[in-house]
Structures are given as C-alpha cells and as structure tokens.
Chain A
Amino acid sequence: MSTTTPTSVAETGRAGTGTAPATPGAADRSASEIADLARSVTGSASLDDTAWRRYLHGLPGVDKVGADGRAAALSTRSIKTTSKAWALDTIIRMVDLTTLEGADTPGKVRALAAKAVRPEPADPTCPSAAAVCVYNDLVPVAVEALAGTGVKVAAVSTAFPSGRASRAVRLADTRDAVEAGADEIDMVIDRGAFLSGRYSQVYEDIVAVREECRANGRHAHLKVILETGELATYDNVRRASWLAMLAGADFIKTSTGKISPAATLPVTIVMLEAVRDFRALTGVPIGVKPAGGIRTSKDAIKYLVAVNETAGADWLDPDWFRFGASSLLNDVLMQRNKLATGTYWGPDYVTVD
C-alpha cells in the first residue's frame, strides 16, 4: 500500500502530538527551532548534501501503482445534495483566484479582486474566495482592492515560474512583494538543484526566503511550489515535500500551472500523506495547495475526498488546503446555482475572466 507511514522517520523522530492543527500563529516557529527540528529529524548536525541525501533517500519509496489506484478509487465517490452544497461552498472558500499572465493589467486584478470578495453578487450566502494570487508588481493593486475584506493577497516570487535566478535576486523579489503588503508568498524551489542532488542548496533557499517573509516585523505565509511535473517521480515528490516542510514551509504547493502536467490527484495524495506524517512526527501541521489543471467542480470535489481520506477532516479548511485555480470558480458557481434553482446554468451567466 502506498500510504505507509515512513517508518524510518517515525523511529528516529519525536512522537506526534496527534492534536488538531493549530492556528497559523501557533504554528509559527522561529528559525532556530526549525533548524533544530531539521537536525533532529535527519539525525545530522551539519545539514549538508550528504546528510540530506541519506535522510531523503531513506524515506520509504512511493508505490506508484498503489498511489494511482488509490486516487482512482477515491475519484469514484459520489457526493450529492447537501454534501455537494457544503463541498461547493468549501471549495469557494479554498480558492486562490489566480491570474498569472504576461498581459495582466491593474484593471484585471481589480476585477478579479471584486470577484474574490463577492463571487456571486446576487447571493449574500455565497462565501468569499481565500486569496487572490498575482505577480509581484501587481501586489499593490490587489492589496488596495482587497483592503479590509479578509481576502488575502498572494504573490508568486523568487523568479517565478522557472526560479532560474541567483539567490540574491530571488530574495530581492520576495522582499519586494512582502514590502508591498503580500500576505502570502508562493516561492518556487530550484528544481535543477533538487534533481542534481544539491539538497542543502534547496533547503537554504527556502530558509532564506522564509526569513525574508518575516523581515521587519512582517509575517507573510510561505507556500513552497515543488513543481511536481518536473520532479519526474513520486519518490521525488515525497522527498521534496519533506525537504520543504523541514525547511519551514507553511504550505507545500504542487505546481506553477505553467507546465504540464500540473496538479494531479495521485501527486496531491502523496503530498497529503507527507503532511499527515509530518504532523504525526513533529506536531506541526502544514498546508497543501494543488494548483493548475483543476477546472471543474467534479475534479475539485475529488480532491476534497482525497484530503478527508488521506490527511483527515482537520485539513478541510482554507487555512490548510487551497486550490490554485482561475476557471474553477466559474464552474463551481454554475453548479451552485444549479443546486439552488434546479436549472442548468451556462457560461453566459458568469464573468469572463
């Protein structure tokens, strides 16, 4: 079975507390606490490439056939009527409404912000989306449009989507977004370094970006994008997840949405297993965000089923699970209206984003 707890970790590490995920504030750990935890989990004082390789390659392998089969089995659950209504509203609350185009304009970001606050203007019971996700330079526009609404502003930093820039540039990029008022930073890992085994470099990158998120009394949430489509194997996804979590990520995110394949259900299940095991081991809950390629309510509901069955119901909350999507919201709104009125809706009745 693919869902085995990494026993080698459980034996060497501390016992999990088994409590519900704490609030983001309580989960906030200092840099030294994170480093101590990484040293104790890996069993190495130096945290160099050799230590990381020994630890990450010691994680149990993922049974690919098992993971795919598990995802396919979870996809067959039928979610109807009141459960479906709950699921649709939960999905809306979990959506990071995203626009990451070269052609983005301040006007488009403002329109998207308005939609995130009131996805269905005619229906006051419709919840707001979780966040609006934009490129760095549009953060001020989004911050202004969303002030006082409770909808967060997420910025994709660190030379998104490729991440191919020096650490200084990537940190400056992050600083720029944090100072502009971004609540959440979506960083990309250096896949080249990860795939060539320079794990300590990836670790130090994440640690440095995390410091930047918390500089000058600011407190931006850090989401680490693994870009699973470029990691090639599920084993690598599991390793990258653990590396990111040990480096202090608040969220681990599947993909940038710029390369195919983006988020898939099996990959998300592997990551959900990682956060479940990480909490069992350290007591620290980490969020998961699949992004890219989730376009229909039906797909999104499959992810919710997987969250509940893999990580547990604690994760069915916008603080711990998000969808990075742009067209998903329209489909959810159409389904929501279908449930409310009994009439099938069409794309002419929702906004063109």
Chain B
Amino acid sequence: MARTTKALTTTRTAPERLGVRKTYKLYVGGKFPRSESGRTYEVTDAKGRFLANVAQGSRKDAREAVVAARAAQATWAGATAYNRGQVLYRVAEMLEGRREQFVAEVAAGEGLPVRQAELAVSEAIDRWVWYAGWTDKVAQVAGSANPVAGPYFNLSSPEPTGVVVVLAPQRSSLLGLVSTIVPPLVTGNSVIVVASERRPIPAVTLSEVLATSDVPGGVVNVLTGFTKELAPPLASHLDVNAIDLAGAVGAEGVTWGEVEAAAADSVKRVLRPAPGRRGEDAEPDWTEAPRPQRILAFTETKTVWHPKGV
C-alpha cells in the first residue's frame, strides 16, 4: 500500500521539462546549414554570461553564400518595385510578431534595460517599413530625364549593383543590422551579411523571419563568425560587386582600411563607415533618421537614349 501512495505523489508534482536547446546555424540560399568547417563559438551576454553556441562561418561558407546570392539576384531585381515593397513590408509585419523575442535578445546582447531595448526594436521595425516604401520611389527621386542636344529622350535610372556584402555593425545588433541590410535590398541587390561577431543572435532570428517570409531564398544570406576571417575573402571575391564596411569598425583583428584594400583589385563599390560621434573609429548613432543615400550607394546609373518620334 505504502508503495502505491508514493507512486501517486510523484505523478502529482509536475515533472521537470528537459530543455529544448536551439542550434544556431547559418542562413545560406534559403537553407540553414551548419558551417562547412563544423566550428562553433560561444556568445555571451553583455555581462559575460553564456548565451548560445553560434556557427563560426569559414571562407568556404562565404563562397557558398556568394554562389547563392548570385543565383538569387536576377529574380529579386526582376520583381517589380511594387512587389519588392510588398515583400519587404511583410517582413516588417513578421518582425512585429516576434517583437518580444527581439526585445529579449537585444536586451541580453547589448545590455540594455528592457525599455530601451523595446525602443531599439520599434525603431528597427519602423526603419524596415520606411525603406520598404522606397522601392517604387527611388527611381523617380534618383532617376532623371536629361536635357541633351538632339532629338532624343535621355533617361537615367538607378539599377541594382548586384551582390552586396554587408559587414553588419558590431554594437547595434538589430537596429544597425536593419539599417545596413535593407537599403541594398530596396533596389534589387542580393545581400550577404556578416553578423556582429559578439552580438549575432538577433541576426540569426532575423534569418528565421526571412526564411518564412516571401523574400526568395538566397536574396539575404546570414553568416555568423569572425569578421576578420570572413571579410577579407568576401572583399576580394571577384563575384561580389559591393561591400558595406560598417561592421569593420570595432571588429577584432581587422580594420576597414584593410578590407577596402582587399576590395580594390576587383574595383568593388565600397561604402566606408560613417564616422561616429566619438571619432573615426566609433560606431555611428544608428538612431539618427535614415536617409535614402544608403540605398543609392548600391546602385548603378543606367542611361538610355531614345529617339523622339517627330
């Protein structure tokens, strides 16, 4: 009898659940592969407590990402500007749905109080919406009908550069990330983003959002790992057309000057980091109002002549 009673009591208390731990992976070509190298590294919160093991991407992962980005670029650029706007807006809707998760991750990673983390997440989502609105307006603002001597229409319009590598800001893990990856997407570039090396988790979560959104696989590829390892091969890769150096500021073991030099051989478009308030090598204040210039940094101007039918 006594034995039965004991059994009943143990079933009554709720059993302790086994933790369901997450394996953080890369996001390449619409899939979530582990790093080819099989390596991971530890990510800690702002106070140095363990947060997660994150994939440590290698230069071969970078190469695969370029192949995926190149394959996806034509389709994304070929979609109508209006459609790109809708697709990007839907991503913002989905970010809103994951708001609490992002707030928790930003608060842990950047060491912000919850109130401030909420502000940063709201700002990031609003910025996404702001850029989404630019897709079908950028050609009208940046394009022009040029006066020429002769009976011709002469029209210039911005076209996407192609495959763009974005070194995401090291400190601002979500707002900075959004501020750098969305501008090249607006005009139809595909993007390979090297996430902040110490604060990569919002970028991984963003890749999960993108995987279930209508953004075609390969248009955004997220690599986690060390900027000093990933940036040089991407900068020298002949099939990459442009690179945003924002995340070379504050990365360990690499300067943006070195990355820019590696990009020179293939005459890539290079967007240098904007100087921060506290000098050349500090990160800019990403809460400042965005400007369309960041979109235009990754465009090429195409000019066509067309005879005026008289």
- A residues sitting closer than 8 Å to B (CB atoms) are 342-349
Contact = CB atoms under 8 A, between A and B. Distances in A.
A351 to B, nearest CB: 15
12 contacts: A342-B236, A343-B236, A343-B265, A344-B63, A344-B66, A344-B233, A344-B236, A344-B238, A345-B238, A346-B66, A347-B70, A347-B239
Nearest to B235: A343
A348 B63 CA distance: 15
Interface string B59-103: 000010010001000000000000000000000000000000000
Contacts of A343: 236-238, 265-266
Contacts of A346: 66, 70, 237-240
B289 to A, nearest CB: 36
A296 to B, nearest CB: 10
A79 to B, nearest CB: 15
A343 B66 CA distance: 13
A348 B265 CA distance: 14
Q: DSSP class of B's interface residues: helix, strand, loop or mixed? A: loop
A344 B239 contact: yes
> Which of B63, B236, B239 is most buried by chain A, counting CB atoms within 10 A of its CB?
B239
A349 B66 CA distance: 15
Contacts of B239: 344-348
- A-B interface, 10 closest residue pairs, ranked by CB to CB distance from nearest: A346-B239, A344-B237, A346-B238, A343-B236, A345-B238, A344-B63, A349-B238, A343-B238, A344-B238, A344-B233
Nearest to B66: A344
A347 B265 CA distance: 16
Contacts of B237: 343-344, 346
Given A345-B238, A346-B237, 12 more contacts: A342-B236, A343-B238, A343-B266, A344-B63, A344-B238, A345-B239, A346-B66, A346-B70, A346-B238, A346-B239, A348-B238, A349-B238
A346 B237 CA distance: 8
B184 to A, nearest CB: 18
A156 B275 CA distance: 64
A343 B263 CA distance: 11
B70 to A, nearest CB: 7
Contacts of A342: 236
A84 to B, nearest CB: 14
Contacts of A347: 70, 239
Give the most central of A344, A345, A348: most B CB within 10 Å.
A344
Interface string B225-242: 000000001001111100
Contacts of A349: 238
A345 B238 CA distance: 5
Contacts of A348: 238-239
Nearest to A337: B238
A342 B233 CA distance: 9
A347 B63 CA distance: 13
A229 B209 CA distance: 41
Contacts of B233: 344
A120 to B, nearest CB: 15
A344 B70 CA distance: 14
A345 to B, nearest CB: 5
B269 to A, nearest CB: 15
Contacts of B63: 344
B235 to A, nearest CB: 10
Contacts of B238: 343-346, 348-349
Interface in B126-160: none
Nearest to A343: B236
A342 B239 CA distance: 14
Interface in B233-273: 233, 236-240, 265-266
